[in-house]
Every structure is written in structure tokens, then in C-alpha cells.
Structure 1
Amino acid sequence: MMTQIVSAIGVMVAGVFACALYYWLSDKLLAAVLPVPDNNVRLASQNLNRRAAIRPWLFLGPALILLAVYLVYPVIATFILSFYDRSGGTFVGFANYRWAFFDAQFRQSIFNNILWLAVVPAACTFFGLVIAVLTDRIWWGNIAKSLIFMPMAISFVGASVIWKFIYEFRGGKETQIGLLNAIVQAIGGDPQVWISLPFWNSFFLMAILIWIQTGFAMVILSAALRGIPEETIEAAVIDGASGWQIFWKIMVPQIWGTIAVVWTTITILVLKVFDIVLTMTNGQWNTMVLANLMFDWMFRGGGDSGRSAVIALVIMAAVTPIMIWNIRQANKETGGH
């Protein structure tokens, strides 16, 4: 353990030193290429302006190269791969796209993703907003916020394992150790294998992501609510507005931009949901989503790089417009800075 800690610290120190050295050397090289002579004011001014224009690109250079290698190239390679067969060696044209259009499991995955999109972002944003408003009015609000935010520190796989115990089912006359089945049994109902119930099992999986992401929505929306001028609230109270009217007609409109950013951020996460479905059901009982379908076609049953590439492109096509809108909206919120 100590060896690993020392090694990690060494890597971090070396990385910081390498970055500092790169910035220093690149600045020195720029100064050598574009000198500032004392006897030529015009050339000195031009070179200073050129330095100012080139220097940011020198500093951004490593990041742009890494972005190209690990993002742009894989997108292009995936697009090309989508026109080849399972081995990536034979060109098949649009055959993989035709397969996706007519495949029942692909359509089921699309439907499940749409279902997740309709429920999870709305539920997280709604619960986060309600909790943010309520916790700001009680003295132990910060403690409540900490407890609600705590699931954000748990990985999706870890959260799924926790919820597996909640949905746990024991057959026969065994004592139910799953919390949900224990409650159902206590009130005289019959225990169920909840995650195998058609259609409804997707909602049981969604509950896990809602439990995790509500804390994120709460923190962001709570900060936005605190940015509302107190004078606005006081004026509404003097005019006789009820708490409900203040919430819906004053608070919500003033933080609508933040609500939209939270909503779309969670939407992007939902489009890429994978861990929860893999851990809970492995896509069985009609719970498959696009990311899990892509994983199955790529790494199971011998693999099919062509079809998995098509699914990857569908996910990217769904995420990209929302991500662009989200970035633009966030820039508007911060005044373009």
C-alpha cells in the first residue's frame, strides 16, 4: 500500500513538473522566434501582439492533442466501423443500420431509454427543487442536505448493490430480507421479484438513479434560490401572495435557466445509463437500454463491432445536441464567462 501511495505521489509531482517545464520552454521558444528588439518599435509591437495570439494555443496544445486522439479520432473510427461487418474486415454498407431499424431488441432499448428520459430528469429536478425550498426553511436544513447529497458519493454499481437488498426476494416460506418485500409481507401482501416484473421493473431501476441524482439537483437549485433577491420575496409577501404563489410565480421563473441546465445535465446522464441496468438485471426482462445493448454486441457472443458502432453513434447523436444546448445555457447563466 505504501509503495502505491509513494508511486502515485511521484507520478503527480512528475506530471506537475512536466507541465510547468513545457509551459516555460514553450514561452522561451516563442520569445526566441518572435524577439522584441529595442531599436525597432514597430517590429517589437507586432511580435508582442503575435506572442499574445500564439501563447494561448501553445498552452492549450497538449489538451487539444489529447482531445483529438481520445475523442475526435474514436468518433471518426466508429463511424467508419459502422459500415463494416462484425470483424471489421468486410464492407457491408448500410446493412448494420438496416439491422438496427428492424431489430426488436434495438427498438425495445430505444423505448426504455425514452421511458428513462421521461421519468428520471423530471423526478430528480422536481424532488431536488422541493427539497431545496423546504430545507432552506428549517434549522437543520444543512444536515438534511448532507444526507440527501450523500448518495452522490456512491458509485452506480455500489448504489445498485444497496438497492438489490431492498428488492431482494426469497422464495418459498423463507423470511424476506428485502426491505420492500418485508414491508409488503408485513401488511399482508405477497412478495414479488420486483426487478423481473414486465414494464414496472424499469421504474424500480429508475428509482436508483433518482435516489443518486436528486442530491445533485438539490445543491444546484438551492444555490440558485439563494440568488433570488430578498426584496422580491418581501414585496410578494406584502402584496398578500401565498407561499404556493411565491414558489410558482416568483421563485421558479427566476431560476428557470438553472432548472433547465439541471434537467439537461441529468438527461445526458440518463442517455448513457449503463451500470445500474448491468448490475441489477443485465438487460433481462425487457430492461435493456442502448448502452447495455452496445456492450452486449461489442463484447459478448464473439462481438460485432459493426452493430455496436451503430448503437454508439445513436447514443452520441442523442447526447450531442442536448450537451451543446446545455453549454450554451450555462454560458448565458454566467454571462458568457
Structure 2
Amino acid sequence: MALLFLAPALIFLVVWIVYPTGWTIVRSFFDRGGDEFIAFDNYKEIFTTDTLQTAIKNNVIWVAVVPALVTAIGLVFAVLTERIAWSTAFKTAVFMPMAISLFAAGVIWRIMDEKDPSRGTINAAIKVVDDTFGSGGVLTAGQASSPQLTGSVEQGFVLRNPVSAGETASLGLTAIPPDEVPADARQAVEPRAVEGEITGVVWRDFKPGGGRPGVVEPEELGIAGATIELRDPGGGVSQTATSGAGGAFVFRDVGPGEFRVAVGPQTFQEPFTGVSWLGPKLITPAVMIAYIWVWAGFAMVIIAAGLSSISREVLEAARTDGATEWQVFRRVTVPMLAPVLSVVFITMIINVLKVFDIILSVAPQSSQDDANVIALAMWRTSFGGVNDFGLGSAIAVFLFLLVIPVLALNIRRFKREEA
């Protein structure tokens, strides 16, 4: 009677687990087409191919970083949920990513990691901070429009003739990209001399149909937001000013002596164009962040369940003995949560060894080789167009062998807890 009830499960176990596992092991010793026995050649190729070596290296990084971070973040979140009044809303927000598939989460982070700040959420946030501190210039290119100026965009453009208080300075630039001229730019106006001040104008010295270089003419627009420097004879900057809508600027309370007026190089600093999160150098950390975002909720719920079972009398006794909150957390809470933390940590190691779909959805085709891991390498080798089922089977067996020690550790822990 027992065998009768177990038979359906045994059949499915043999068909879906035992047979595929055994055949995969056998297939790993044959060539691409499965006709020629090549012994361990496929396994040798795993450790000699650059792409597969990258996959192994990335898996090592994943195992070393992600399980520990997920466990640590889950522990911090679980402790926080006991200290805040809106713990239910907090748990819901943190656990919500678990409600969607890893592939869908990868699609979300693929959009968030876009390099263009107008599309990628992360780079848009960075750009807000960058714009707040004003690190970007108003122009990216420019040249002196006349021999009156000398210099470059890297060093700034300096007026050749020195000026003194009560004089004016005209700084004409050309070769400015048309799309960098603001739509609300005003007509540049020749500066008026003011006693005790140095006034001037910086403008786009270009007039449709031609014009005179170094002379402000109708239809020539001022450059707003340019950084203008007043340099002393030694080359030091004594004052700075920012040009207005019509390109006008002024230096007040100018002392005696001669100075040189310059368009500072800050004017030509390129604006923030975005961090290449999906590029070859940062793709692996970007995918890790997405993965941690998903699994932090799982760790928080498991650890919070363990935290709720801790005797509050033990914690209060530690506080009564004079322990600080940090000492209670480090020397009482964490040791008592060790079994739960080990469950989360070992579970995450197993999951990380099998990570696959989130990398496929986050990493673009151009950087998948750099984000490659063993499971993804197995899929790409077998079904991604290469169709080398011999090598793909060998990679699958290699991954299986890596998981076995962790599974054995997990089973041993379960048996110890039951005893």
C-alpha cells in the first residue's frame, strides 16, 4: 500500500530528476554532436576558455559578497522593524520585490541602470546632486573669435590686454555648438565703463551672413552662466563672476593695478552624462545590487521570525547589567540568532550558485560576457546558439558538484537540529 501511494512521486522523481541527471553526466564525456567519446576534454575546456574562466571568477565574487550582504541587510531590517511604529508598511515595502520574478526584477533594474540620466533613475538622481553643486559647465566647446583672446577650453580663454578698474573687457567666443545656446539667450550688449569696477561681456561672436570678429553686433547672443575670472599679474584668481542672460558680468571693488580677464575653464566642463552601470566594468556590481534588492525581504522575514522567538528577559537582563544597545545586539541578539542566520546564509549560497535569469535580463548583450556566471554559461553554451551540448553538460555537472557540499552542509544542519 505504501509503494502504491509512493509510485507516482517515484515515477516523477526518476523521469524529471534521476534520468536527466544521469544522462547529463554521460553526455558530458562526448563531443558537440554526441557521437565521439572525448573523456574529460569538455571539463578541461571549462578551465581554459576565457569566457568560462570569467564565469567561474564572477561566481566566486557572487558567493563571497552576496550571501553575506543579504544576511546582514536582512538582520538590520529585522531589528529595525521592532523599533519603528510603521513596521508593517516597512516589511511590505522590503518584501514586495519577492512577489515578482527575478526576470521581471531584472527588467526593472535594466531601466533604472540606463546611462542616459533622462531615462535611468539612478543616473537621474546622481545628476540632481551634480547639478545642485554646479560641477557642469554651460558649454562643452569653444574657440577665441579674435586674436584678442588666447587659450583653450582646458585652460580657459584669457584677454591679451590687461585692464584696470573703470575699463571694460569683451570676450568673444566662436565654434560653440548651436544646441548649447539657450533658447532664451538675449542680445549681447557692449559693456559700459563704471568707475571702480571692471565690466564686460562674453558672447557668441557669430552673426549669420558674416560680421566683424571681436565686436558685439546685432543678432549676436550673450552667453549666460559662464564663469569669468579676474586674474592678478601673478596668475592668481582674485575674483570670479558669473555672466548674466545677455553675457554681461561685473567685478566690483577692484583695487589698483592691472588685471587680466578670462573665461574660466569651469565654463567648458562637460555636464554629467551618466555612469555606465551596464558597461563591462560595473555590470556585475549592478546585477548584484538588483539581486540583493530582491532577496533582502526574504532574509528580513526569516530573521524577524527568529528574532520574535528570542526571550525578551535575556535582552532586558543584558540591559540591566549595563550593556549598551550595540553590545546587546552584538553579544546577545546575533549569537542567539546564529541558527537562523546560518539558514539564510546557506540558502543564499545555493541560490547564488544557480543565479541566472536576473543576469540575462539586466546585462545587455554587449556586456553579458563580463557578467557571465556558471549557470548562464551553461545555458548559453547549450541553447544560446552555440549548441555544444557536450560542453554544456560538463558545465552543468561542474555546477552540480559545486552545489553538493553546500547541500550536504544544509542536510547535516537539519539533522543536528532534529537531534
Is the structural similarity TM-score above 0.5?
A: yes
- How far does the alpha carbon of each residue in 1:256-311 deviate from its partner, in whole angstroms, 9 at most, with x for none? 01101110101111111111111122452511111111111101335011100010
Deviation of the 1:91 alpha carbon: 1.1
Letter in 1 for 2:120: G
Which of 179, 185, 188 pairs up with 2:121?
179
Q: Please state whether the residue corresponding to 2:38 is helix, strand or coil.
A: coil
Contact kept? 1:184, 1:190, Cα under 8 Å? no
Which of 301, 310, 314 pairs up with 1:219?
301
Deviation of the 1:117 alpha carbon: 0.9
Which residue of 2 is the match for residue 125 of structure 1? 71
Which of 301, 307, 312 pairs up with 2:396?
312
Which of 14, 17, 20 pairs up with 1:74?
20
Letter in 2 for 1:84: F
Write the distance in 2 (CA, Å) between the matches of 1:68 and 1:58.
Answer: 16
Does residue 1:296 correspond to 2:238, yes or no? no
- How far does the alpha carbon of each residue in 1:33-65 deviate from its partner, in whole angstroms, 9 at most, with x for none? xxxxxxxxxxxxxxxxxxxxxx3x443332122
Which of 76, 79, 88 pairs up with 1:142?
88
Larger radius of gyration: 2
Which of 408, 414, 419 pairs up with 1:324?
408
Which of 332, 346, 355 pairs up with 1:273?
355
Letter in 2 for 1:64: L
Q: Please state whether the residue corresponding to 1:318 is helix, strand or coil.
A: helix
Write the distance in 1 (CA, Å) between the matches of 2:43 and 2:119.
Answer: 46
Structure 1 unaligned regions, length at least 5: 1-25, 27-54
Contact kept? 2:43, 2:395, Cα under 8 Å? no
TM-score w.r.t. length of structure 2: 0.63
Deviation of the 1:67 alpha carbon: 1.2
Which residue of 2 is the match for residue 209 of structure 1? 291
Does residue 1:228 correspond to 2:310, yes or no? yes
Write the distance in 1 (CA, Å) between the matches of 2:35 and 2:303.
Answer: 50
Contact kept? 2:106, 2:290, Cα under 8 Å? yes
Deviation of the 1:234 alpha carbon: 1.5
Whichever structure has more strand as a proportion of its residues is 2
Does residue 1:102 correspond to 2:48, yes or no? yes
Indicate how the Cα distance of structure 1 residues 285 and 184 shifts in structure 2: closer, same or farther if over 3 A, else same: farther
TM-score w.r.t. length of structure 1: 0.78
Contact kept? 1:157, 1:279, Cα under 8 Å? yes
Deviation of the 1:248 alpha carbon: 0.9
Question: C-alpha root-mean-square deviation of aligned residues, in Å?
Answer: 1.6
Which residue of 2 is the match for residue 16 of structure 1? none
User: Identity across aligned pairs (percent)?
Assistant: 41
Which residue of 2 is the match for residue 6 of structure 1? none
Deviation of the 1:118 alpha carbon: 1.1
Deviation of the 1:329 alpha carbon: 1.8
Write the distance in 1 (CA, Å) between the matches of 2:308 and 2:125.
Answer: 39
Q: Please state whether the residue corresponding to 1:108 is helix, strand or coil.
A: helix
Contact kept? 1:167, 1:179, Cα under 8 Å? yes
Structure 2 unaligned regions, length at least 5: 131-271
Letter in 2 for 1:253: P
Which residue of 2 is the match for residue 195 of structure 1? 278
Write the distance in 2 (CA, Å) between the matches of 1:121 and 1:305.
Answer: 31
Write the distance in 1 (CA, Å) between the matches of 2:75 and 2:82.
Answer: 11
Whichever structure has more helix as a proportion of its residues is 1
Deviation of the 1:140 alpha carbon: 1.3
Deviation of the 1:331 alpha carbon: 4.2
Write the distance in 2 (CA, Å) between the matches of 1:300 and 1:210.
Answer: 26
Runs ≥4 residues deviating over 4 A:
none
Deviation of the 1:324 alpha carbon: 2.3
